[in-house]
């Protein structure tokens, strides 16, 4: 698709710019909303902030562009949903087989 903007006046270009910015903001909001809907409040999630170790926490709230996560250490983070991953829950049978057994004899 080709749009010829060379014939538009300055006023028309400014109006076109406003419409483009508005449309781009709508699309960004739409994508963010879709990313948020992959998660549920109360779900355990993980994310890795730049320059810090991986954080694990509970998603507690949806915001307009981010979600609020309460980490295991008690800190609240507002995180973009595209940076989150769900924490995979281990199958109870598999968790049982992964237990460490203490083989030391008691005296």
Residue 105: inside a domain: no
Q: What is the CATH number of the domain that holds 30?
A: 2.30.30.140
How many domains is the chain built from?
Answer: 1
Provide the domain limits for residue 84.
10-89
Residue 106 lies in a domain: no
The model's pLDDT over 61-100, given as tens digits with 9 standing for 90+, comes to 999 889 999 998 999 999 999 999 999 876 555 545 444 4
**Residue 73 within a domain:** yes
The pTM (predicted TM-score) of the whole model is 0.65
The answer to whether residue 100 sits within a structural domain is: no
Residues 6-52 have pLDDT tens digits of 999 999 999 999 999 999 999 999 999 999 999 999 999 999 988 99
What distance in Å separates the CA atoms of residue 14 and residue 17, rounded to the nearest whole number?
5
């Amino acid at each position: 698709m080709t749009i010829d903007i060379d014939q538009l006046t300055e006023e028309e270009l400014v109006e076109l710019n406003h419409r483009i910015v508005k449309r781009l903001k709508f699309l960004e909001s739409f994508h963010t909303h879709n990313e948020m809907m992959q998660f549920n409040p109360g779900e355990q999630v993980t994310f890795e902030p730049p320059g810090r170790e991986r954080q694990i926490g509970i998603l507690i709230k949806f915001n307009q562009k981010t979600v609020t996560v309460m980490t295991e250490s008690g800190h609240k983070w507002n995180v973009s949903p595209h940076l989150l991953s769900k924490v995979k829950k281990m199958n109870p049978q598999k968790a049982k087989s992964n237990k460490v057994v203490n083989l030391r004899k008691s005296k």
